[in-house]
Amino acid sequence: MSANFAFPGPQSARPHPSLRPKDAATLIVLRREGGQTRILMGRRSDQHVFMPGKLVFPGGRVEKADYRAPAASELAAPVEMKLADHCGARATPRLGRALALAAIRETFEETGYLLGDRQEAPLARPSRNPSWRAFHQAGYLPALAPVRLVARAITPPGRPRRFDARFFAVFDDGSMQRVAETDRELLDPKWLTFEDMEEADLPFITRRVLADLAGRLTRDPELTPDGGVPFHFMHYGQTKSTLL
């Protein structure tokens, strides 16, 4: 499922019964080439009811299997802490880990790119989840250590779908592998520069997160684990932002 939690701007709001946001995650894959930073994005099919034709990052909702998926490495401690911030009683390392794994799984499903470390021996108990099973059968386990949290956004009330979305980022240092099979929910995955996306058809929050990320890369080009994370949400009808 692609990153359809990228909600539109306030001008397109429509009254809708209040819904509790669902946990979701996306992965912003960064590639540095010739002095430019490129980002992996794909276009949603025009047949989708929600966000048709929009350019988005790969991502989607957390699935049960994401809570049980093994990993080759774990999240950096500062990233775990930021994932728990402003989560109340739900703030557990298990949830934060599942969010990061969901972002990696969705990226694999939608673009075919694997973020992981190669494993010599197969798992003793293969996952029942078809995406994780394919990931493991390719000879990899997901790697969480290089993943950074760069933004969080909650879809405003009144939308037909609401998500509490965490935006992760990782640098592709050449180790990410791509396989041919994807679910085709994201069409024509490609590597775009920030300049390419200035005129692109992007959802409101995608453009906001890109602006946040561009600023972060200027201040912190290596995306250190303890860097500030913008959190965007609505509070009594007003758009609010804070740093995690």
- Walk me through the domains of the chain, giving residue ranges and CATH numbers: 10-243 (3.90.79.10)
Pick the closest to residue 179 from 87, 115, 124, 103 (CA basis): 115
DSSP β-bridge partners for residue 59: 26
Mean confidence (pLDDT) of the chain? 86
Which tens digits make up the pLDDT trace of 114-133? 999 998 888 888 899 999 99
Position with higher pLDDT, 48 vs 218: 218
Which tens digits make up the pLDDT trace of 65-94? 999 999 999 999 999 999 999 887 777 889
- Interior/surface letters 59-68, b for 16+ CB within 10 angstroms, e for the rest: bbbbbebbee
Residues in the chain: 244
Residue 4's pLDDT band (cuts 50, 70, 90): very low
CB 110 within 8 A of CB 41: no
